[in-house]
Amino acid sequence: MQIISDPKELQLLMLNLKAEGKTIGFVPTMGNLHEGHLSLIELSKNKADVTVCSIFVNPLQFGQGEDLSSYPRTLKLDIQKLSAISTDYLFTPSEKDIYPLGKEIHTHVIANRLTEYLCGKSRPTHFQGVTTVVNILFNIVQPNYAFFGKKDYQQYKIISNMVNDLRIPVEVIGGEIVRESNGLAMSSRNGYLTDKEKQEAAILRQVILQAAEQIKQNQRSFDDIIQQSINTLSHSGFKVDYFEIIRQSDLHPADRDDSDLLIAVAGWMGQPRLIDNIEI
Ligand code: PAF
């Protein structure tokens, strides 16, 4: 695996590979890689000739009081994991490489649609940070395909819309959620959980599955299902941010007759804010 931190060097390399007719698959990450990330690398390896992973803890997507300074940085271990599955390139830019003039005065990409719902309510500047950095990374890496985990379903949808709206020639592909043995969705932030909290956090998946089952059984009082689910989670030590039943297409609250639904949940178990979802 070749490790490159200079954006110009990587961009030139990618342009040359594409000129040779090679397709590029890209998995952007913030590091602290787990099985979820590695499953995206595998998807990319199956789809594209060349796979690039980036590791950049993007300061622009962290709000005031969030965990930017304590976010787990495990580059050595990440390199071992990526090498072990034969990733072709790892891009590790510095903050100055990405925002040479400073992140505040850098051009920002504002995704208007879908950012004010779900996680956007409690993290109002988060998605602007994501769309800005993903745009910069796309322009450096020049991928044909880009892979995003569907645990961050809202991010996946916002980036898909951005690519459509701005006519960016990249195919955005969502990867299925990878879970711990107790059902907890894998996340870099799971490392903040104590062993006890990790066990307790399994309730998140159980409650989502229960709600999904009720919907499949045609119990269509969504308000009741939502309230019941919030109560169960709250009694299990989970501080609920939201529990919503929405349409996959536009993330709006679903009506009784809608199909292609998503149950999405977020909240705090101890210190970390966890999210999870299920497509129905
Ligand atoms: O999902 C993430 O890890 C980040 O939001 C991303 C897409 C790498 C942008 O910083």
- Write the pLDDT tens digit of every residue in 170-201: 999 999 999 999 999 999 989 899 999 999 99
As a whole number of angstroms, the distance between CA 168 and CA 173 comes to 14
Decide if 37 is catalytic. Answer: yes
pLDDT at 140 over 90: yes
CATH number at residue 239: 3.30.1300.10
Between the CA of 130 and the centroid of ligand 1 the distance, in Å, is 6
- Among the listed residues 37, 108, 126, 235, the single catalytic one is 37
Tokens representing residue 185 in the block = 């969705």
20 shares its domain with 45:
yes
Count Cβ atoms below 10 Å from residue 183 Cβ, excluding itself: 15
Torsion angle of C-alpha atoms 179, 58, 33, 190, degrees rounded to 10? -40
Range of the domain at 125: 2-175
135 shares its domain with 230:
no
List Cβ neighbours of 273 (8 Å cut-off, separation of 6 or more). Answer: 189, 241, 266, 267
Instruction: Please provide the average confidence, as pLDDT, over all residues in the chain.
Output: 95
pLDDT in tens, 13-58: 999 999 999 999 999 999 999 999 999 999 999 999 999 999 999 9
CATH number at residue 136: 3.40.50.620
Q: Specify which residues 54 forms β-bridges with.
A: 28, 91
CB 215 within 8 A of CB 209: no
For the entire predicted model, the pTM comes to: 0.96
In a domain? residue 142: yes
| Number of folded domains that form the chain | 2
Atom of ligand 1 nearest to the CA of 130: 9
Residue range 149-170: average pLDDT? 97
State whether the Cα torsion 243-179-2-143 is positive or negative. negative
**Locate tokens 């799971």: which residue?**
190
In a domain? residue 183: no
